């Protein structure tokens, strides 16, 4: 069975109900649409929206890997997840996080989530942005509506209006491999 390694870049703060519902639906869709592949999800911590996503992934039976920065190492991780304690700050850890994946999913967040999306773009990992979460990452599309941050690289970011569209993009982009 082939593996699909996805990174969820998500808010470490307390998410709104809307952001939570969108993330729940996206996890449900990815798990159901990836039955022919082993879904391995990578996240950068276990707090806020990330915690919710981890819990939903675990409930669905997906493999979850936490790539933790130094300042998250004291957090109680849930049973059954794989934990990598990097000893690095959040910025350094983020590079390891996004480099480990076939596709990065921006599930809603703020500065750390944006940094992970830009890092992924810069190393050729496709990025799928779920918009409409009500979090600061929603405004990224205003600055880069065509998904191009650097003309030398070209398009590397795709925007999804719904969890259904995001799941379809993830599956399709993962099949193509690095851009």
| Residue range 2-176, CATH number | 3.40.50.450
The full set of domain ranges for the chain reads 2-176
Q: Tell the residue number behind the tokens 């496709």, with chain if given.
A: 126
Cβ neighbours around 77 below 10 Å, total: 17
Q: Read off the pLDDT band of 2 (50, 70, 90).
A: confident
Q: Tell the residue number behind the tokens 């996206």, with chain if given.
A: 26
Q: Read off the pLDDT band of 33 (50, 70, 90).
A: confident
**Ramachandran area for residue 13 (φ above 0: left; ψ -120 to 50: alpha; else beta):** beta
What percent of the chain stands above pLDDT 90?
A: 82
* Alpha-helix residue ranges (DSSP H) falling in the chain: 17-33, 48-59, 90-99, 111-123, 140-143, 163-176
Q: Read off the pLDDT band of 148 (50, 70, 90).
A: very high
Does the pLDDT value for residue 34 go beyond 80?
no
> Mean of the per-residue pLDDT values for the chain?
92
Q: What is residue 83's predicted lDDT score, i.e. its pLDDT?
A: 94
Q: What is residue 37's predicted lDDT score, i.e. its pLDDT?
A: 80
């Amino acid at each position: 069975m082939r593996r699909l390694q996805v990174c969820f870049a998500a808010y470490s703060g307390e998410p709104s109900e809307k952001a939570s519902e969108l993330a729940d639906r996206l996890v449900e869709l990815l798990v159901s649409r990836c039955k022919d592949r082993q879904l391995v999800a990578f996240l950068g911590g276990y707090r806020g929206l990330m915690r919710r996503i981890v819990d939903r992934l675990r409930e669905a039976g997906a493999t979850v890997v936490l790539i933790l920065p130094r300042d998250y190492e004291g957090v109680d991780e849930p049973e059954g997840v794989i934990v990598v304690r990097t000893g690095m700050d959040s910025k350094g850890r983020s590079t390891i996080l996004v480099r480990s994946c076939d596709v990065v999913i921006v599930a809603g967040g703020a500065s750390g989530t944006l940094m992970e999306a830009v890092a992924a773009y810069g190393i050729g990992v496709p990025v799928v942005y779920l918009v409409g979460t009500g979090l600061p990452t929603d405004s990224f599309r205003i600055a880069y509506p065509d998904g191009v941050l650097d003309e030398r690289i070209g398009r590397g970011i795709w925007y999804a209006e719904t969890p259904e569209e995001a799941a379809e993009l993830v599956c399709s982009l993962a099949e193509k491999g690095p851009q």
